[in-house]
Amino acid sequence: MWINRNRSPYVSNYEINLLYEDGTYAILGNGTVPDAIKQFQKKFKDKSGLAWNNRTDSAKPGKYVFLERRYSPHSDYEGEKSGNKGVKKVAGEQEDEGSPPECTLEKPVKELMELIFSQQCFSNTISALKYDANKLPLGKLSKKTDTSGFKQLKDLAALIDDPNLASSKWNMGIAEATEHLSNNYYSFIPHAIGRKQPPIIRDENLLKKEIELLQSLPDMKVAADLMKIDRKTRDSIHSLNRQFQGLGLEEMTRLDGKSSEFGHLMKYLNTSGGAAHKMTYTIKDIFRIERQGECKRFDNSEFSKIPSNRRLLWHGSRATNLAGILSQGLRIAPPEAPVSGYMFGKGIYLADSTSKSAGYCYSMNTGGEALLILCEAALGAMQTLIEADYNAGTKAKEERHAQYMGSSPIPKLSLQRLESKTHNCITMNQKDPINQHHRRVNIARPADSIDL
């Protein structure tokens, strides 16, 4: 409800809105401010079961969920115009007539930025994740909303792990409690599923899919914020230059294909693939990347005194997540996230197999191209595991990371130490589909947030 002080009479504007459809409206009240407020509070309690002053309390079973959203009346995001469905405007397209600013990035860097900030890739990824960006645009997504979604998934994970919680905590049967929590989750995180009934999250497979969505949204929001139109500079700087500057990188350099550094990385990549993954790819470009201040933080960390535990390990992620990763680093799931959605609990997952990490790039959504990161990671003491254990973090005690031992032997890294001590981002063209296999690679899960 809002009050327009420039008009009279005052009314309560009531919207009847199905979760995945546009709504219809009704106007209530006799034209006075007190009655408009009274009508609104009455309708709110009728639909939510809560008084307006208690709106942040836990949702009532079978009632509507209160969502706190602050949308600005004017959109500064490309493709977010009233009446538009989805993301239609291509990043970099200028609205005003006349010659657009020239992009001054080197061609390889320009092509990398076009991939990271591709509107088409975002549309494909959003569709694959079944997220409804029309209901809740990425640029408007708040940390509070993402946290609320994680809280619902954490409750669902606890319920899946212990069905007795349905009666002891929720005073319901297991089916009713699962449906109630699932509906709460979908109220916070809208899904594009048409008029279909959203699936009840009653097993770990569905839970993991939703966790992946919530982990991707903050990184995708970073890209959406960088793609925001700057009305002061859009006529003087190309959108790709502005987006590249927004990453705040100390360095992004394309390696010479004839350099020894390029050769070492190619050798490591070609010899570290897992035979079970049945994946082939070709290298398009390799970039040396340094985030501002990261080398200093890395060298000043407690792990820098343990050179034997420094490793060059792979991390794969969707191209649409790279803007968030490059600008803010790899991040661990928040406390609100359930631990059961992760193979070894919460952490940053790295592998010594390129094909294992590449499987998490989902190149089918980016035209066959993928971005793979090679991280220099200080692992610390190891907790060795031979099977999945999502409580590995709490069991580790003094160990700072868990190592999953696959059936392949642990490779002795003979790759020479890179003088730059930086990340390396590798662009691949994938040819064959991935055959997932979880027991043939070694996976490291650093247990704490550290610089990589």
| Average pLDDT, integer, range 312-328 | 93
Return the H-helix or E-strand segment holding 207: helix 204-226
Q: From 1.20.142.10, 3.30.160.20, 3.40.50.300, 3.90.420.10, which CATH number describes the 76-246 domain?
A: 1.20.142.10
Q: Which of 9-18, 168-177, 225-234 has the lowest mean pLDDT?
A: 9-18
CA distance 191 to 65: 15
N- to C-terminal Cα separation, the chain: 47
Q: Who wins on pLDDT, 343 or 431?
A: 343
Do 279 and 355 meet the contact criterion of CB atoms below 8 Å apart?
A: yes
How confident is the model over 151-168, as pLDDT tens digits? 999 999 999 999 999 999
| Cβ atoms of residues 303 and 378 within 8 Å | yes
Q: Which of 383, 381, 363, 364 is nearest to 372 (CA)?
A: 363
Look at residues 187, 100, 85, 116 and name the one whose alpha carbon lies nearest to residue 366: 116
pLDDT in the model for residue 440: 38
Q: Does domain 249-446 have CATH number 3.40.50.150?
A: no
Q: Where does the pLDDT of residue 14 fall: very low under 50, low under 70, confident under 90, or very high at 90 and above?
A: low
Q: Tell me the backbone φ, ψ of residue 358, rounded to 5 degrees.
A: -65, -25
Query: Given a cut of 50, is residue 441 above it in pLDDT?
Result: no
Nearest CA to 448 among 377, 385, 374?
Answer: 377
Active-site annotation, residues: 346
CA distance 186 to 196: 13
- Report the chain's mean pLDDT, rounded to a whole number: 76
Alpha-carbon distance of 87 to 122, in angstroms, equals 8
Distances (CA, A) of 360 to 318, 436, 449: 7, 10, 20
Within 10 angstroms of residue 96's Cβ, the number of other Cβ atoms is 7
Residues of the chain with CATH 3.90.228.10: 249-446
Q: How many CA atoms lie within 13 A of 359 on its CB side?
A: 19
Residue 189 CA: distances (Å) to CA of 27, 57, 151, 185, 334 = 28, 18, 12, 6, 17
Asked if pLDDT for residue 376 goes beyond 90, the answer is: no
Q: What are the tens digits of pLDDT across the range 196-223?
A: 888 999 999 999 999 999 999 999 999 9
Distance CA 310, CA 418 (A): 12
pLDDT at 412 over 50: no
d(CA 1, CA 41): 10
Q: E strands, 240-325, where?
A: 249-254, 281-291, 310-316
**DSSP letter for each residue of 237-252:** S-HHHHHHHHT-EEEE
Q: Compute the average pLDDT of residues 43-49.
A: 83
Q: Provide CATH 1.20.142.10 ranges for the chain.
A: 76-246
Are the CB atoms for 262 and 256 separated by under 8 Å?
yes
Under the banding of pLDDT at 50, 70 and 90, the label for residue 439 is very low
